[in-house]
Amino acid sequence: MTEIRSSSAGSAPAEVPGSAAVVGCGVIGAAWAARFRLHGVPVKAFDPSPDAARIVDEVSANAVAAWEDLGLPAELASIEFCDSVEEAVAEAELVQESVPERLELKQSTLAAVDAAAPADALIGSSTSGLLCSDMAANLTHPERLLVAHPFNPVYLLPLVEVVGGKATSAETIDRAMSTYRGLGMKPLHVKAEIDAHIADRLLEAVWRESLWLVNDGIATTEEIDDAIRYGFGLRWAQMGLFETYRIAGGEGGFGHFIRQFGPALSWPWTKLMDVPDLTDELVDRLESQSDEQSGAYTVRELERIRDRNLAAMMLALETNQWGAGQTVAEMRERLDRS
């Protein structure tokens, strides 16, 4: 773990970029493009896939529907597909790279971005696990690169993990915090480089244990999802982990909770330091159970169901001035003024 420069970016004002470039238009890149466009930011995009434009159009349609569910203005700014990385980033104030998670590909793509983008452009990578310092190895101006790791659907969920590298400047972190806040997000400044940042490390723990439960025949994919979505997932959605456990301690607070339940951490309940072999048998079991659970819906239908549920929860949180609902209230106020 490499300590990186801290910043007072938490107090930075919100600023919306005048233009953006999206490099890589898969699930994440397409959703970034939608968030930018919904905030009135014109986008230039590059992706070599022949399906890129279709994916962007379909994801943008879902994004518009989700914002309508939130009661937010849902007009899309323009998007232009370009023939090269260089063309896409040539005039961008913000470049969001979202190519597949392969270090060599990230390095070569970001080198092309660095060479062609304006000198004052902010460059964010959507990587879910790679280190900023490693991705910056081939850059001439590594001080303007940072990790900006979002969560799908990017146009709806506000969290973005902002992580600098060894060469990232404090000014870049400040600008990033301001820019992503201007795009209606909750930027979380991760002050140390670590594989998978914060949120994905938490998700990885749950994911590992879930694979063991399926592998050992204890639960199906649907039963595991039900345990989350009908139980602790609802608590986590509005209070997270530590605040939830503080309440679990009753009037004695978190101190009472940890003294009462802390000893259970030494019990052999989990297999978090190990993972089952992904044999053909286990992969087939996971795939067949998932098909049985959700195969009646297309991916776009599942996305739309997800978005309606998230929008309803976020509206309730907005009413209570709590959690993710606060970002909706801030977006509503800003968009109503524009």
Give the pLDDT of residue 6.
38
Please say which residue of 137, 172, 193 terminates a domain: 193
Please say which residue of 193, 214, 240 terminates a domain: 193
10 Å CB burial of residue 113 (0-12, 13-18, 19+) is: buried
Give the span between the Cα atoms of 209 and 113, in whole angstroms: 39
- Considering the domain architecture, whether residues 12 and 49 belong to the same structural domain is answered as yes
Q: Is 254 helix (H, G, I), strand (E, B) or coil?
A: helix
CATH code for the domain in which residue 11 is found: 3.40.50.720
Q: At 132, phi and psi to the nearest 5?
A: -60, -40
Please say which residue of 172, 193, 214 terminates a domain: 193
- Considering the domain architecture, whether residues 179 and 80 belong to the same structural domain is answered as yes
Residue pLDDT tens, the chain, 338 long: 444 433 334 456 789 999 999 999 999 999 999 999 999 999 999 999 999 999 999 999 999 999 999 999 999 999 999 999 999 999 999 999 999 999 999 999 999 999 999 999 999 999 999 999 999 999 999 999 999 999 999 999 999 999 999 999 999 999 999 999 999 999 999 999 999 999 999 999 999 999 999 999 999 999 999 999 999 999 999 999 899 988 888 888 888 888 888 887 777 778 888 888 989 999 999 999 999 999 999 999 999 999 999 999 999 999 999 999 999 999 999 888 87
- Considering the domain architecture, whether residues 118 and 222 belong to the same structural domain is answered as no
Query: In 10 A of CB 40, how many CB atoms?
Result: 14
- Considering the domain architecture, whether residues 174 and 316 belong to the same structural domain is answered as no
- Considering the domain architecture, whether residues 135 and 218 belong to the same structural domain is answered as no
C-alpha 252: how far from chain center: 35
Give the pLDDT of residue 266.
77
- Considering the domain architecture, whether residues 158 and 232 belong to the same structural domain is answered as no
Give the pLDDT of residue 2.
45
- Considering the domain architecture, whether residues 212 and 319 belong to the same structural domain is answered as yes
Identify any residues that bridge with 162 across adjacent strands, giving them in sequence order: 148, 189
Q: At what angle do helices 299-319 and 325-337 cross, to 10 degrees?
A: 90
Strands (E), 98-173: 122-125, 145-150, 159-163
Give the pLDDT of residue 4.
41
What sign does the CA torsion over 200, 201, 204, 209 have? negative
Give the pLDDT of residue 268.
79
Nearest residue to 259 via CA among 246, 269, 270, 272: 246
- Considering the domain architecture, whether residues 219 and 319 belong to the same structural domain is answered as yes
Q: At what angle do helices 52-70 and 27-38 cross, to 10 degrees?
A: 50
- Considering the domain architecture, whether residues 78 and 52 belong to the same structural domain is answered as yes
Through-space distance between the first and last CA atoms of the chain, rounded to whole angstroms? 42
Give the span between the Cα atoms of 323 and 314, in whole angstroms: 8
For 142, which DSSP code? G
- Considering the domain architecture, whether residues 55 and 181 belong to the same structural domain is answered as yes
CATH code for the domain in which residue 265 is found: 1.10.1040.10
- Considering the domain architecture, whether residues 57 and 157 belong to the same structural domain is answered as yes
- The domain containing residue 189 runs over which residues? 2-193
Joined tokens for residue 225: 């999802």
Helix (H) or strand (E) holding 190: strand 186-190
Give the pLDDT of residue 12.
60
* 3-state SS, one letter per residue, for 60-111: HHHHHHHHHHHCCCCCCCCEEECCCHHHHHCCCCEEEECCCCCHHHHHHHHH
- For tokens 């050992």, the residue is 216
Give the pLDDT of residue 337.
83
Total tally of structural domains belonging to the chain: 2
Give the span between the Cα atoms of 143 and 134, in whole angstroms: 13
Give the span between the Cα atoms of 106 and 99, in whole angstroms: 7
- Considering the domain architecture, whether residues 329 and 204 belong to the same structural domain is answered as yes
Give the span between the Cα atoms of 172 and 183, in whole angstroms: 16
